[in-house]
Amino acid sequence: MSNERKIIEINSAVLGKNDEIANENRRAFQQQRLLVLNLLSSPGSGKTTLLERTLKELGAKYHIGVIVGDLATERDAERLKKEGKNVAAITTGRTCHLDASMVRAAYHRLSLEGLSLLFIENVGNLICPASFDLGEDSRIVLLSVTEGEDKPLKYPVIFRLADLVIITKIDIAPALGCNLNELNANIRQVAPGADIISLSARSGEGFTQWLSYLGHRLVHK
């Protein structure tokens, strides 16, 4: 057997096993009537900052859990624990994505009583996390205005699988000369069915739209 074929077979087996566990996760989440959102982006696009502000604004109204993955350190988990108690960290070591078994283990470390919304902050990476179903309801891809208008065209797989794309850090778009029309058009080209929200977790611009999106999703869960 050629090496290439061997690699393809190993990859298929790994992804097949992951899909089985993801489906078990999905059943467990559904039994709990839990809305589960998987947040994906390149490193530093603003996932943790978005979650910090979301927990601050919605934490009193809903019981929210967060599973947060990083290669090294629990820095994001420590940041999030200042805004909400129900946070589980996953440190992946050399692995560039979360997988369904890691999420299953972290889920059991959360306090599940009354939980209605679970965010999963994936490892910052625009490539590998796209291949791994975690059992989530929806995938949300963040793209900051610092990354360049062409990123949806260059990394189409992750955008194609997104239910919602959030353009982040719009407070600094003018200083960067970021062309938001071009960015929107490139997202539309790759992910015509996805919703798009533009916001700044720093200034709060656009945040109401994000909170309305979450409210709507929770009501229809």
Ligand X SMILES: Nc1nc2c(ncn2[C@@H]2O[C@H](COP(=O)(O)OP(=O)(O)OP(=O)(O)O)[C@@H](O)[C@H]2O)c(=O)[nH]1
Residues that bind ligand X (CB under 6 A): 41, 43-49, 76, 124, 168-169, 171-172, 200-202
Count the alpha carbons within 13 Å of 206 in the hemisphere toward its beta carbon.
14
* Helix, strand or coil, per DSSP, at residue 51: helix
CB of 34 or CB of 201, closer to ligand X: 201
**Cα 150 to Cα 136: distance, rounded to the nearest angstrom:** 27
Q: How far is the CB of 46 from Mg ion (least distance, A)?
A: 8
CB of 54 or CB of 200, closer to ligand X: 200
Q: Which does 84 bind (CB under 5 to 8 A by kind): Mg ion, ligand X, none?
A: none
Q: Which does 43 bind (CB under 5 to 8 A by kind): Mg ion, ligand X, none?
A: ligand X
User: Phi/psi class of residue 46: alpha, beta or left (left: φ > 0; alpha: ψ in -120 to 50)?
Assistant: left
Footprint of Mg ion on 72-91 (CB under 5 A): 76
Q: How far is the CB of 93 from Mg ion (least distance, A)?
A: 17
Strand partners, 166: 142, 197
CB of 99 or CB of 121, closer to Mg ion: 121
**Cα 39 to Cα 98: distance, rounded to the nearest angstrom:** 11
Structure tokens at 178: 């970021």
Q: How many CB atoms lie within 10 A of CB 167?
A: 24
Q: How far is the CB of 25 from ligand X (least distance, A)?
A: 22
**Cα 213 to Cα 51: distance, rounded to the nearest angstrom:** 14
Q: How far is the CB of 198 from Mg ion (least distance, A)?
A: 20
Q: How far is the CB of 79 from ligand X (least distance, A)?
A: 8
CB of 186 or CB of 200, closer to ligand X: 200
HEC profile for 130-153?
HHCCCCCCEEEEEEECCCCCCHHH
Footprint of Mg ion on 29-48 (CB under 5 A): 47-48
CB of 48 or CB of 186, closer to ligand X: 48
Binding site for Mg ion (CB under 5 A): 47-48, 76
